[in-house]
Amino acid sequence: MSDAEIIPIGTGGRPGRGTGRDKPSAAARSLAKGAKPRAPRAPRAAAEPAEASTAGPADGPTAGPTDGPTDGPTAGPTPGTPRAGATTKDREPLDGIPAADWLAAIESGAREVFGPDWERRLAELLAFLRRRLEGEYLVDDFGFDRELTERLFLAMVRPLAEKWFRIEVRGIENIPAEGGALVVSNHSGTIPVDGLMTMVAVHDHAGRNLRPLGADLVFRLPVVAGLARRMGATLACQADAERMLNGGELVGVWPEGFKGIGKPFSERYKLQRFGRGGFVSAALRTGVPIVPLSVVGAEEIYPIVGNLTTLARLLNLPYLPITPFFPLLGPLGLVPLPSKWLMEFGEPIRTDTFGELEAEDPMLVFEVTDQVRETIQQTLFKLLRERSSVFG
């Protein structure tokens, strides 16, 4: 018992622990085997900074930092000792990355963007940019830029058609491979997104460029007017329509106009009046076939639940829609809903069997107009029955 070490209860083996004081008491120090009390620290004057205390146990480690500031500067690393590591400021940005790794990364990214034949597509893109900068491109009499439309405009909206709306195209064989023809479609969607989607579908499945006839409002807007001309659109007038049809172009028309795209959601897929039959008169004069087109899915992208008619008149607009998300959510409300689209091109209606004078007969024009409208309406009902769900 005489050789046993006495440890105070609750101290964990360390004298003075658990007493609530910074330093062990004299009794606790006397119990610690071989403990050597530290020399009391000399009091320092209030006006003079205290010197660093070096007092400590003879066999213990060197004392830590002082309680107060020292007279000299803080001691730094010993001269000649290596630094811990280089910072980004000291290191070159490209240091340590071989050139082969950079080339491999660029090649991998190009293959991801352009596909396996990335070299050819990248060369085509660079050649396209060079021609645009040097002005080596063609524009027809209506302002249509074929190269810019196919490589830029249609490429930008194609992901929307394929991934977002998942458009299913039927009856594409009814579009003539060459020569003039008139595509007549129903109109819906609050904004004319269906026109852009039809252009993409015709180009990708029939290999032809659709030349849309637009309302005069389209060509009054500062930026939209120039883009519409570049994409092949022209004013919906009799003279321009006949010129393009006689030139062998594939022309698209939406006779419902603003009444079609601006109708409320409760009247979806109910065709409005087809104007006065001007498109039929143009087809009869030129003898081109009329291809009816029915589009299901555009009615649901921006469901119109209201119309700010007074504000629309002040802004000189045909309508100012209110949807479940616009203007409540602001710009976020302009994102279209991902409805499932079905497009069906009907059998062409021939007009070359009529004489040129018969195009002036209002009864014949009305009869053909009603035939086109009824064909589109019945096809819409059929597609609605076949569609499993709005977003299916």
What pLDDT score was predicted for residue 281?
Answer: 92
List, for residues 49-108, the tens digit of each pLDDT value. 444 444 444 444 444 444 444 444 445 555 555 555 555 555 555 556 787 877 788 778
Residue 98: which region, alpha, beta or left (left: phi > 0; alpha: psi -120 to 50)?
Answer: beta
Identify which has the larger pLDDT, 215 or 111. 215
Crossing angle of helices 278-286/362-386, nearest 10°?
Answer: 110
φ and ψ at residue 169, rounded to 5 degrees: -105, 135
Q: What is the pLDDT of residue 59?
A: 47
With 90 as the cut, is the pLDDT of residue 271 above it? yes
Q: Please give the mean pLDDT across all residues of the chain.
A: 81
Look at the chain and count its residues: 392
Q: What is the pLDDT of residue 80?
A: 52
Which domains are seen in the chain, by residue range? 106-136 (no CATH), 142-301+336-386 (3.40.1130.10)
The per-residue pLDDT for 349 is: 95
Section 22-45 average pLDDT = 58
User: For residue 36, is pLDDT > 60?
Assistant: no
HEC sequence for 343-380: EEECCCECCCCCCCHHHHCHHHHHHHHHHHHHHHHHHH
Question: What average pLDDT does this structure show over 243-267?
Answer: 93
> Cα(175)–Cα(207) distance, rounded to whole angstroms?
10
**pLDDT, tens digit, for every residue of 365-377?**
999 999 999 999 9
Confidence class for position 41, pLDDT limits 50, 70, 90 = low
Residue 46 has pLDDT above 80, yes or no: no
Given phi > 0 = left and psi -120 to 50 = alpha, else beta, which region is 143?
A: left
Please say if the pLDDT value at position 38 is more than 80. no
At 322-342, the pLDDT tens digits run 999 988 888 888 899 999 999
Q: Residue 77's pLDDT is what?
A: 52
**Which residue, chain included where needed, has tokens 């027809």?**
140
Helix, coil or strand: residue 329: coil
| Residue with tokens 């659709």, as numbered in its chain | 210
pLDDT (mean) for 39-56:
50
Contact of 255 with 184, CB cutoff 8 Å: yes
* Cis amide leading into 79 (omega within 30): no
Handedness of CA 8, 9, 15, 16 (dihedral sign): negative
pLDDT at residue 384, rounded to an integer: 94
Residue closest to 182 by CA, chosen among 229, 247, 230, 227 = 247
The pLDDT assigned to 39 comes to: 58
